[in-house]
Amino acid sequence: MEANPLTVAQQQLDMAAEKLQLDPKIHAILREPTRVLEVSIPVKMDDGSLRVFKGYRAQHNDAIGPAKGGIRFHPDVTMDEVKALSMWMTFKCGVLCLPYGGGKGGVAVDPQTLSPAELERLSRGYMAAVAPIVGPERDIPAPDVGTNPQIMAWMMDEFSKVKGGVTYPGVVTGKPIIVGGSLGRSEATGRGCVIIIREAAKRLGIKLQGATAVIQGFGNVGSATALFLAKEGVKIIAIMEIDGGIYNPEGIDPLDLLEYRKKAGTINGYPGSRPIDNEELFSLECDLLVPAALENQITKENAGRVRAKLVAEAANGPTTPEADAILAERGITVTPDIMTNAGGVTVSYFEWVQNIMNYYWTEEEINSRLEQKMVAAFDSVYQMSQEYQVTLRMAAYMLSIARLAEAIKLRGWV
Ligand code: NAD
The closest-lying atom of ligand 1 relative to the alpha carbon of residue 223 is 26
Instruction: Tell me, in angstroms, the distance from the centre of ligand 1 to residue 400's CA.
Output: 24
Pocket test for ligand 1, best of 220, 338, 349 (most atoms within 8 A of CB): 220
pTM for this one? 0.95
Alpha carbon of 410 to ligand 1 centroid (Å): 37
Map out the domains of the chain with their CATH numbers. Answer: 5-9+23-170 (3.40.50.10860), 188-340 (3.40.50.720)
* Distance (Å) from CA 254 to ligand 1 centroid: 16
Residue 404 CB–ligand 1 contact under 6 Å? no
Helix/strand/coil (H/E/C) assignment for every residue in the chain: CCCCHHHHHHHHHHHHHHHHCCCHHHHHHHCCCCEEEEEEEEEECCCCCEEEEEEEEEECCCCCCCEEEEEEEECCCCHHHHHHHHHHHHHHHHHCCCCCEEEEEEEECCHHHCCHHHHHHHHHHHHHHHHHHCECCCEEEEECCCCCHHHHHHHHHHHHHHCCCCCCHHHCCCCCHHHCCCCCCCCHHHHHHHHHHHHHHHHHCCCCCCCEEEEECCCHHHHHHHHHHHHCCCEEEEEEECCEEEECCCCCCHHHHHHHHHHHCCCCCCCCCEEECHHHHHCCEEEEEEECCCCCCECCCCHHHCEEEEEECCCCCCECHHHHHHHHHCCCEEECHHHHCCHHHHHHHHHHHHHHHCCCCCHHHHHHHHHHHHHHHHHHHHHHHHHHCCCHHHHHHHHHHHHHHHHHHHCCCC
What's the pLDDT score for residue 1? 55
Q: Pick the atom of ligand 1 nearest to 240's CA.
A: 20
**pLDDT at residue 165, as a whole number:** 87
**Which ligand 1 atom is at minimum distance from the Cα of 221?**
26
Q: Any catalytic annotation for residue 163? A: no
85 Cα nearest atom in ligand 1: 34
Q: Which protein residue's CA is at the shortest distance from atom 36 of ligand 1?
A: 315
Catalytic residue among 92, 104, 309, 373: 104
Ligand 1 site, residue 292, Cβ cutoff 6 A? yes
Could you read off the pLDDT tens digit of each residue along the chain, which spans 414 residues?
Answer: 567 999 999 999 999 999 999 999 999 999 999 999 999 999 999 999 999 999 999 999 999 999 999 999 999 999 999 999 999 999 999 999 999 999 999 999 999 999 999 999 999 999 999 999 999 999 999 999 999 999 999 999 999 999 998 999 999 999 999 999 999 998 999 999 999 999 999 999 999 999 999 999 999 999 999 999 999 999 999 999 999 999 999 999 999 999 999 999 999 999 999 999 999 999 999 999 999 999 999 999 999 999 999 999 999 999 999 999 999 999 999 999 999 999 999 999 999 999 999 999 999 999 999 999 999 999 999 999 999 999 999 999 999 999 999 999 999 999
